[in-house]
C-alpha cells in the first residue's frame, strides 16, 4: 500500500492510473477536493480492488494520523499543492497554508508513523515530495539548464511556497533521518489538466472561438513534459532513488509560449479543421507580474542513475493531449463549474478567459 496525497488532481490522478496499470500494489488517495481536485479524474478506479479514497486536508494532522494508522503505507507520494501562479499572485495565503503548512503537517505525521515501524518496514519506508522547477527562478537565454545544484531563487508566491516546502523536506531528512526523496519537474501537460493552465485553456478557447491570450511578447520559454513520462520518472525515483537526493525531471522540450499556442492551433487544424484555422485568435495581453523568462531542466542525473528517459516528444504528447480534450467534452463540462468561471471573471474580466 502507498499513500498518494493530491491524487485527484492533474498529475496525481495520472500517477494513480499509471500505478494500477503497471500492476503495482494498492493505493490510498487523500485529497481535499478543492477546485482542481476532481473525483471524476478517478471515476474508473472507484470500486476497484486495492483502491481507496479519503476526503481529507493535508493540514489536518489528526486525519493524516488516522489514514496512516489504518492503511499502513510503505511510502507516501506527496502531490497535494496549490499550483497556479496567477492564483498565488491574487491570494498567496492559501498557497502558504497548503504548500508549506500542509507539507509540515504531513512530514510530522509521517515521522511519527515512521519511527514506530518495525525494523525492515522502517528501513524500506519512503517519503517522495513532488516539486517544481519554478523554485530555481528564471534563466537567461544562454544560461545552462537547471541542475540539482542550482541555488533556489523563487520569484512568485507559488514558487516561494514550493521552495519552502522543499526546504522542509530536506530538513526533516537531515535532522530526523526521515527517508525522503524530492523531484523537481518542468511544465506538465496531458489528460485531466484543469482548464486554467495554458494548454487546455488554449484548446478550449480555440474551439469556442475565443481569444487565445498570450502574456507579454510570448517569448517566455518553458520545458514541457508529458504527464505520463513524469509519472514514470516518479515511479523510478520511488523504487530506486537514493535517500535524501533530489532528481530534476524534464522533457527536454524547451518551447516559447507563443510557439506552444501555435502548435496547439496546428494540432487542432489537423484534428478538427475549419476555414481560416485558429491562429487568428491569438492575442497578446499585458504580462503577469514577475513573469520568469525561461525554465529548462537538466535531467542527466535521473537519466544516468535511474535510466529514465521521456517517451513522448512535444509533438506526440501535444497531439495526444488535444485529442483527449476533443474526446472528453463531458469531463470538460463537469469541471468548468461556477467556481472556475468566477475565478476567470475576477482575474481576467468577464469577457476573456486569461493566460497561464
pLDDT at 154 over 60: yes
State the pLDDT at residue 16: 98
Residue 194 lies in a domain: no
Q: Do the bridges between strand 180-185 and strand 187-189 make them parallel or antiparallel, or are there none, so unpaired?
A: unpaired
Tell me which of 86, 133, 292, 312 is the catalytic residue.
133
pLDDT at 340 over 90: no
Residue 66 lies in a domain: yes
State the pLDDT at residue 77: 98
What total of structural domains would you count in the chain? 1
- Is there a catalytic annotation at residue 136? no
Q: First vs last Cα of the chain: how many Å apart?
A: 36
* Domain span holding position 20: 2-188+226-252+294-313+338-345
Residue 328 lies in a domain: no
Tell me which of 31, 86, 134, 223 is the catalytic residue.
134
pLDDT at 222 over 50: yes
Separation between Cα atoms, residue 319 and residue 71, nearest integer Å = 39
Residue 274 lies in a domain: no
pLDDT at 173 over 80: yes
Q: How far is CA 313 from CA 19, 229, 281, in A?
A: 22, 10, 26
Per-residue DSSP letter, 100: I
Which pLDDT band, with edges at 50, 70 and 90, does 337 fall under?
confident
The percent of residues in the chain predicted with pLDDT above 90, rounded, is: 88
Supply the CATH number for residue 138's domain: 3.40.50.720
**This prediction's pTM:** 0.93
Give me the mean pLDDT over the 33-42 stretch.
Answer: 88
Residue 331 lies in a domain: no
Residue 46 lies in a domain: yes
Residue 100 lies in a domain: yes
- Is there a catalytic annotation at residue 327? no
Tell me which of 113, 136, 158, 278 is the catalytic residue.
158
Residue 267 lies in a domain: no
Tally of CA atoms within 13 A in the half-sphere of 37 that contains its CB: 22
State the pLDDT at residue 18: 97
**Lowest-confidence segment of 38-47, 256-265, 306-315 by average pLDDT:** 38-47
Per the CB < 8 A criterion, the answer to whether 341 and 194 are in contact is: no
- Is there a catalytic annotation at residue 134? yes
Amino acid at each position: 500500500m502507498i499513500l498518494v496525497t493530491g491524487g485527484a488532481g492533474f498529475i496525481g490522478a495520472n500517477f494513480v492510473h499509471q500505478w494500477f496499470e503497471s500492476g503495482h500494489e494498492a493505493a490510498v488517495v487523500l485529497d481535499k477536493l478543492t477546485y482542481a481536485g476532481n473525483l471524476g479524474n478517478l471515476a474508473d478506479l472507484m470500486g476497484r480492488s486495492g483502491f481507496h479514497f479519503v476526503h481529507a486536508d493535508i493540514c489536518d494532522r489528526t486525519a493524516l494520523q488516522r489514514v496512516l494508522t489504518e492503511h499502513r503505507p510503505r511510502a507516501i507520494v506527496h502531490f497535494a499543492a496549490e499550483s497556479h501562479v496567477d492564483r498565488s499572485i491574487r491570494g498567496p495565503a492559501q498557497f502558504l497554508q497548503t504548500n508549506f503548512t500542509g507539507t509540515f503537517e504531513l512530514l510530522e505525521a509521517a515521522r511519527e508513523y515512521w519511527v514506530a515501524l518495525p525494523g525492515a518496514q522502517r528501513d524500506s519506508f519512503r517519503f517522495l515530495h513532488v516539486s517544481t522547477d519554478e523554485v530555481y527562478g528564471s534563466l537567461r537565454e544562454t544560461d545552462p539548464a537547471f541542475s540539482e545544484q542550482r541555488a533556489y531563487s523563487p520569484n512568485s508566491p507559488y514558487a516561494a511556497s514550493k521552495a519552502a516546502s522543499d526546504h522542509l523536506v530536506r530538513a526533516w531528512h537531515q535532522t530526523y533521518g526521515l527517508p525522503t526523496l524530492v523531484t523537481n519537474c518542468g511544465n506538465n501537460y496531458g489528460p485531466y489538466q484543469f482548464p486554467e493552465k495554458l494548454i487546455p485553456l488554449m484548446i478550449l478557447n480555440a474551439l469556442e472561438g475565443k481569444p487565445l491570450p498570450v502574456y507579454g511578447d510570448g517569448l517566455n520559454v518553458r520545458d514541457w513534459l508529458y504527464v505520463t513520462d513524469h509519472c514514470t520518472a516518479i515511479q523510478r525515483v520511488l523504487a530506486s532513488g537514493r535517500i535524501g537526493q533530489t532528481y530534476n525531471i524534464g522533457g527536454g522540450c524547451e518551447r516559447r509560449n507563443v510557439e506552444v499556442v501555435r502548435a496547439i492551433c496546428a494540432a487542432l487544424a489537423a484534428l478538427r479543421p475549419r476555414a481560416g484555422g485558429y491562429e487568428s485568435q491569438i492575442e497578446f495581453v499585458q504580462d503577469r507580474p514577475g513573469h520568469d523568462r525561461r525554465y529548462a531542466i537538466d535531467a542527466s542525473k535521473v537519466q544516468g542513475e535511474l535510466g529514465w528517459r521521456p517517451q513522448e516528444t512535444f509533438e506526440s504528447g501535444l497531439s495526444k493531449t488535444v485529442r483527449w480534450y476533443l474526446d472528453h467534452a463531458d469531463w470538460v463540462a463537469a469541471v468548468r463549474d461556477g467556481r472556475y468561471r468566477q475565478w476567470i471573471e475576477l482575474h481576467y474580466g468577464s469577457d476573456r478567459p486569461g493566460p497561464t
